[in-house]
Amino acid sequence: MKLTVLCDNNTYIDQYYLGEPALCFYIEDENRKILLDAGYSSVFKKNAALMNLDLNQLTDIVISHGHNDHTRGLKYLLPSLKKDVTLTVHPHAFKPKYDGEEYIGAPFSKDEILSLVKYRESFDPVSITSRLIFLGQIPRKTDFEAKNPIGCEVVDGERKPDFLIDDSALVYKSDKGLFVITGCSHSGICNIIEYAKEVCGEDRIIGCIGGFHIFDDEEQIRKTLDYFCSNNIQKLYPCHCVSLKAKCEFMKALNVEEVGVGLKIEVV
């Protein structure tokens, strides 16, 4: 599997790509070309062009959850794509989402998406390739993650607190262990890894990249670090929604890599 960061909050010195507070990964595995999330604007498309990546060749799009910093870029992509692209998502991802009166959800409704791509929604894990799995709905078992709602979602015409049950992730099954790929980890990065282990029947974690939704909550930072250490994660790539404070704490005990637009990772 090959992964390229097309959009992130961070950009590298002397590499003239564009960044924004959003996320988009381009993944190649077997004969599939996959986009995980689409950022907030057309930044990911501009970066892909600079990297000579042809997004017209995409076979799959996976949406980690329905917030606009992961979905709004779809409006710059989907109208120009072939309709045989498969979009995989949790069933709640395209429900309207609000923070107060501000709309923070996806730019398309489910009905609109159905006219643009092959649409596949699932609460359960779904295989994207023989080794790459969309995890579906993540069970929430830890006592320090995913505790508070973010705004509200509209379900059957009624606004309800949004606990982001649509938040999911990808896991790649390497012969050496699992590599976990997240969007924002609203469901909890430790919950995600635990479920990936359960789904794949594998306890070895060789790496993890993505947003972990960890900021300045000292208990969450400490317990997450303890979890990472107890699982002997070989390499960590925190990005997007991870504070500097959290990254610094992780770096004291773990092999942490800087993430920025243009980063390329290969997992075998």
Buried b (16+ CB within 10 A) or exposed e, 90-107: bebbbbbbeeeeeebbbb
User: What integer pLDDT is reported at residue 139 of this predicted model?
Assistant: 98
Q: Is 170 exposed, middle or buried (0-12, 13-18, 19+ CB in 10 A)?
A: buried
Pairwise CA distance, residues 71 & 9, whole Å:
15
Per residue in 64-106, pLDDT (tens digit) is: 999 999 999 999 999 989 889 999 999 999 999 999 999 999 9
CATH number for the domain spanning 75: value is 3.60.15.10
Pairwise CA distance, residues 136 & 187, whole Å:
11
Reference 19, options 55, 46, 51; nearest CA is: 46
Quote the number of domains for the chain. 1
Pairing between strand 152-155 and 132-134?
A: unpaired
Pairing between strand 32-36 and 169-174?
A: unpaired
User: What integer pLDDT is reported at residue 156 of this predicted model?
Assistant: 92
User: What integer pLDDT is reported at residue 80 of this predicted model?
Assistant: 87
| Predicted structure pTM score | 0.97
Reference 246, options 223, 209, 214, 219; nearest CA is: 214
If you search the block for the tokens 């508070």, which residue do you land on? Answer: 148
Q: Is 89 exposed, middle or buried (0-12, 13-18, 19+ CB in 10 A)?
A: buried
Taking every pair of Cα atoms in the chain, the longest distance, rounded to a whole number of angstroms, is 49
For residue 126, what are the domain limits? 2-266
- Pull the structure tokens for residue 54: 């042809």
User: What integer pLDDT is reported at residue 201 of this predicted model?
Assistant: 98
Pairing between strand 32-36 and 152-155?
A: unpaired
Q: Where are the alpha helices (DSSP H) in 40-142?
A: 43-50, 68-71, 110-114
User: What integer pLDDT is reported at residue 82 of this predicted model?
Assistant: 81
User: What integer pLDDT is reported at residue 222 of this predicted model?
Assistant: 97
Pairwise CA distance, residues 23 & 3, whole Å:
13
The segments of the chain whose pLDDT lies below 50 read none
Q: Please name every residue paired with 31 in a beta bridge, in sequence order, or none if there are none.
A: none
DSSP 201: T
User: What integer pLDDT is reported at residue 88 of this predicted model?
Assistant: 98
Per residue in 232-244, pLDDT (tens digit) is: 999 999 999 999 9
- Pull the structure tokens for residue 9: 């909050």
Pairing between strand 60-62 and 32-36?
A: parallel
